[in-house]
Amino acid sequence: MMAIAEAGGRSRQGDLYHFNGHRKKGYVSQWGSPSDLYGKLKYGDCLEFKMKDNFVQRVLNLAHWGIYIGGGRVKSHCRKDREEAATLFNTKIFNSFPASNGKNRGYEIIIEFIEDSAYFESVRVNNKNDLKENWEVCSEKELRRRLRELEVPEYSLLDENCEHFVNRMRFNKNVSGQIDGVKDSGMGFVGAAAIVGTLFAAYKAYDYMKKKDDDDDSDSKE
């Protein structure tokens, strides 16, 4: 069973995020900052995070997913080093190419406060899968049991990523919609990797030229 890294060192006065009312099935909130979710979350909500300053994940339209466990905390399958996870060279894409069988041993089950994920650009509740046929949301009691007892396989972009983890816990479905979307497009992972490689090379060329222009501007001012 994978190790679980706990958020700690601080306490919360109550739960600023907790919502005790009724919401429509399949609730999806607006994108915003963590504070925009105050008074809007229920235990077991699916949280979707947009990455900030991450060229590769923006290109493939990949998001990070976690599941809300109360007290302002989110549980997810990701890198323990959160800053490293946000950098271009340490994304799930580049660390999970087929050359390594899509596996990455730098990932763990993480519990952290939502606001500690400061490198994320924005976050929202996304319970859209509640509306899918034959996708039954488990009870809170069952969800707590799963989060506490179920073994989580080693991270794999294609088969065991952060979205797989959330859907397995909430629905008992080992599915990642964003990865399935790439597969269904007919592009496949190898095709996606090739496109990312091309875009990455273009990005590096652009970055080099931009830095060169900045250096030239600095030299001209001296």
In this structure, is residue 181 part of a structural domain? yes
Question: CB atoms < 10 A from the CB of 181, how many?
Answer: 13
CATH number for the domain spanning 153: value is 3.90.1720.10
- Asked if residues 79 and 64 have their Cβ atoms less than 8 Å apart, the reply is no
In this structure, is residue 199 part of a structural domain? no
In this structure, is residue 197 part of a structural domain? no
Kindly list the distances between the CA atom of residue 55 and the CA atoms of 18, 86, 162, 194, in Å, as whole numbers in the listed order.
33, 10, 19, 15
Q: What is the pTM of this model?
A: 0.72
How many structural domains does the chain have? 1
Q: What is the residue type of 198?
A: T
pLDDT per position as a tens digit, 44-76: 999 999 876 666 566 667 788 999 999 999 999
Domain that holds residue 118: 4-186
pLDDT per position as a tens digit, 96-128: 433 334 445 567 888 989 988 655 789 999 999
Please, what's the b/e burial string for 69-97 (b: 16 or more CB within 10 A of its CB; e: otherwise)?
bbbbbbbbbbbeeeeebbebebbbbbbbb
Question: Any idea what DSSP says for residue 137?
Answer: P
Per-residue pLDDT of the chain (222 residues; tens, 9 = 90+): 444 444 443 434 457 899 988 999 999 999 999 999 999 999 999 999 987 666 656 666 778 899 999 999 999 988 766 555 544 444 444 444 333 344 455 678 889 899 886 557 899 999 999 999 999 999 999 999 999 998 888 888 788 889 999 999 999 999 998 887 666 555 555 555 555 555 555 555 555 665 666 666 665 666
In this structure, is residue 212 part of a structural domain? no
Q: In the numeric block, which tokens belong to residue 180?
A: 């399935």
In this structure, is residue 192 part of a structural domain? no
